[in-house]
Structure 1
Amino acid sequence: MATIRARKKADGTVSYTVQIRLKNKGVIVYQECQTFARKQAAQAWAKRRETELAEPGAIERANRKGHTVREMIDRYLVDGAKVRPLGKTKKATLLAIAASHFGEVVDSAINSQILVDYALWRMSPEGGAVQPQTAGNDLAHLGSVLSVARPAWGYEVEPHAMSDARTVLKKLGYNMKSRERDRRPAMDELNKLLKHFFEMQKRRPSSINMPKVLAFALFSTRRQEEITRIRWADLDEERQAVKVRDMKNPGQKIGNDVWCHLPDEAWAIVHSMPRECDEIFPYNSDSISAAWTRACQFLEIEDLHFHDLRHEGVSRLFEMDWDIPRVASVSGHRDWNSLRRYTHLRGRGDCYEGWTWLGKIISSQVTLGARSHGVLG
């Protein structure tokens, strides 16, 4: 039989712990417990588990030790890294999930109710009081793990648990989709950043040449990770194009190599780099991210991401009256709906025409130092 006990926490919220104990001739043959933020979820889980455990052979299966979410995530991180390193945000999110109480949930216990309860916990003060979109991102990254845990590793994960949980959360009124970002850098912000980065170059000539990286990201619309993967062998001199390896795509990431046109400004920046390494920009992506974050904090520039340069580059091309196929030939987008998310127009014309920084960026010297023998930060 199942018993439900309510416990008041320090922050005033109440949690509900379900305990199930089954006896045979006075001897406990099985017991388990789960804690929920909502009483309804606790009651639903207790009812479902009692029904499941009444089936023949259910107790034997339930006594199987099982695999925890933390173990699944650890395996996913190891297996995924063999093909290609996971993105920084996704990896950090999965590690946080593994370190939470949800990381101790075993595979056979994962269902829509417990996933809904986890999302609600994340949105509660105890779980970090995150926005629904952040909780949605947690579920999306966790879903990547669960989608391979059953077919690849034989773990007992309910196949429709994640999709059912999302349906429930939507019915409850939570918008779990990420908000479309429309931030573009102001010209004054770019002036501050470039001045700062050029000063850093004077002090440390062998540091990452952030002026070239910044300008190339803007004019090429390339993502941060893509920039550091581009090789000299990936250039097509006749077509003024570059092969972008493993371009980010929801349906295909590995082996999704796409040829993208480089506008004249990006093409000139590429050919201003020394041919001392296989990579055109032989820098570490995480080091670029750190340099960008430090600069924005120092200059007190709020809420400006490196990825916003891609928004700026795409929007600029449309403001120059480029049509959709021509812009897509630069950005690499396959459909208008995806491209639309990067389009936030401010006016007409090229606001970078006669940009005084461009000549200085192209003519600036690059000192690779130890990078000539390998990619460093």
Structure 2
Amino acid sequence: MATFRKRNGKWQVQIRRTGEHAVTRTFTLKADAAAWARSAELAAEASDVPKQGNCTYSLDDVLQRYEKEVVQGRESDSSEDFMIRVMRRDPMASKPLHLLSTTDVAAYRDARLKVSKPSSVVRHLRLLLHALKVAKQEWGWPVKLDDIRRIRMPKVAIKPVARISESEFERICEASRRLKNPALRISLELAISTCMRRGEILRLDWSDIDLGARRLLIRSAKNGHPRMVPLSPQAMTVLGSLPHREGPVVQITLVAFKLAFARARKSSGVTFRFHDLRHEAISRLFEMGLTVPEAQLVSGHRTLSQLGRYSHPDVQRIAGKLESSRW
């Protein structure tokens, strides 16, 4: 990475690379300094390319190994697998790593923006950048990481997360009761009463639940850290009403779950996503009076900034408090 500064009427440029000594040159004109810096960076990148006979690794090789060693090793649903499949079908996947450039990634970004939302494209690009980072730093594969990191991310409009009203929640619960499989109804009630993610609910086993101690164990969450979740009276009622006490609590596949939720949402007329229930549940924790550490224990968030993104105070409730308070 080149840095420039003007000193004693001349332009000094310095190039730093991890594990190497900094290289500094001085020029009268800034344009000459920039040209030399670019030439030096290209030469350094070219020297990083290890040869394997007459071939090099391709981006497809990176994505395949990343999926096998990184994605499949952590607890998450199929979204990352889907993104990798999409990227592997793109023409840039066949490019050798030492030829993969920002232009290739930008073309992929622009093509995805024609069929996907900007927020979805951002997730694709972040996954790609992380895969390339792992390939370069852990596997020693030739990646022009510094260049590709400069890719411009699509702008994502920040929208306030609407709270879920009791009537909306009851409508979708009623719609779920009309389905043959009770899995969706159980999942909805567990989500709102425990703050659990969809994947955590689908992986929950009866062996992880201790009704006598009013708690359940999430063995492996999205962030890789297990946590013990206290059971509210609502969660106790839901779990206590179920007849089975062995195997998965919710017996349904991810695909069937998505279809069931889509049908229930359409018939009930609600617009929120299943993950929005986690936002709503965490917001209710604070309205119950739980402290920040107590809410973190339930939600599993490791930092206050993460927790803050899921807490959405009710403006009307706050206005009522202000009205009743004395200044």
CA distance in 1, matches of 2:193, 2:76: 26
3-state SS in 2 of match to 1:148: helix
TM-score relative to the length of structure 2: 0.72
1:96 aligns with 2:86: yes
1:334 aligns with 2:308: no
- Matching residue of 1:235: 209
1:215 aligns with 2:192: no
3-state SS in 1 of match to 2:229: strand
CA distance in 2, matches of 1:337, 1:312: 17
More displaced stretch, 278-287 vs 138-147:
278-287
CA distance in 1, matches of 2:136, 2:42: 23
- Matching residue of 1:32: none
3-state SS in 2 of match to 1:243: strand
CA distance in 1, matches of 2:163, 2:177: 22
1:73 aligns with 2:52: no
- How far is the alpha carbon of 1:278 from its aligned partner? 2.5
What is the letter of the counterpart of residue 248 of structure 2? E
- Structure 1 gap segments, 5+ residues each: 1-43, 350-377
1:277 maps to which of 221, 225, 246: 246
- Matching residue of 1:367: none
Q: CA RMSD in A?
A: 3.5
CA distance in 1, matches of 2:48, 2:192: 61
1:144 aligns with 2:130: yes
3-state SS in 2 of match to 1:341: helix
- Structure 2 gap segments, 5+ residues each: 1-34, 319-327
- How far is the alpha carbon of 1:155 from its aligned partner? 2.7
Residues 244-263 of structure 1 correspond to what in structure 2 (within 5 A)?
Answer: 244-249=218-223, 253=224, 256-263=225-232
- How far is the alpha carbon of 1:214 from its aligned partner? 0.7
1:185 aligns with 2:164: yes
- Matching residue of 1:156: 142
Is 1:229–1:245's contact at 8 Å kept on the other side of the alignment?
Answer: no
- Matching residue of 2:293: 325
3-state SS in 2 of match to 1:87: coil
Is 1:319–1:348's contact at 8 Å kept on the other side of the alignment?
Answer: no
Is 2:75–2:220's contact at 8 Å kept on the other side of the alignment?
Answer: no
CA distance in 1, matches of 2:149, 2:212: 47
- Matching residue of 1:109: 99
Identify if the C-alpha distance between structure 1 residues 276 and 300 changes in structure 2 by more than 3 Å, giving closer, same or farther.
same
CA distance in 1, matches of 2:48, 2:128: 30
Identify if the C-alpha distance between structure 1 residues 53 and 65 changes in structure 2 by more than 3 Å, giving closer, same or farther.
farther
- How far is the alpha carbon of 1:338 from its aligned partner? 0.9
CA distance in 2, matches of 1:54, 1:185: 52
What is the letter of the counterpart of residue 108 of structure 1? H
Identify if the C-alpha distance between structure 1 residues 278 and 50 changes in structure 2 by more than 3 Å, giving closer, same or farther.
closer
- How far is the alpha carbon of 1:233 from its aligned partner? 2.5
What is the letter of the counterpart of residue 175 of structure 2? H
Identify if the C-alpha distance between structure 1 residues 180 and 68 changes in structure 2 by more than 3 Å, giving closer, same or farther.
farther
What is the letter of the counterpart of residue 156 of structure 1? P
Is 2:92–2:104's contact at 8 Å kept on the other side of the alignment?
Answer: no
Q: May I ask how many residue pairs the two structures share in their alignment?
A: 281
CA distance in 2, matches of 1:129, 1:310: 24
Is 1:232–1:278's contact at 8 Å kept on the other side of the alignment?
Answer: yes
Residues 157-176 of structure 1 correspond to what in structure 2 (within 5 A)?
Answer: 157-165=143-151, 169=152, 175=155
- How far is the alpha carbon of 1:194 from its aligned partner? 1.9
Residues 81-92 of structure 1 correspond to what in structure 2 (within 5 A)?
Answer: 83-84=73-74, 86-92=76-82
- Matching residue of 2:322: none
- Matching residue of 2:22: none
CA distance in 1, matches of 2:107, 2:85: 19
Identity fraction in percent: 21
What is the letter of the counterpart of residue 128 of structure 2? L
Is 1:69–1:106's contact at 8 Å kept on the other side of the alignment?
Answer: yes
What is the letter of the counterpart of residue 288 of structure 2? M
Residues 291-330 of structure 1 correspond to what in structure 2 (within 5 A)?
Answer: 291-302=260-271, 304-330=272-298
- How far is the alpha carbon of 1:217 from its aligned partner? 0.8
1:194 maps to which of 173, 176, 181: 173
More displaced stretch, 138-147 vs 281-290:
281-290
What is the letter of the counterpart of residue 130 of structure 2? S
Identify if the C-alpha distance between structure 1 residues 230 and 134 changes in structure 2 by more than 3 Å, giving closer, same or farther.
closer
Is 1:224–1:285's contact at 8 Å kept on the other side of the alignment?
Answer: no
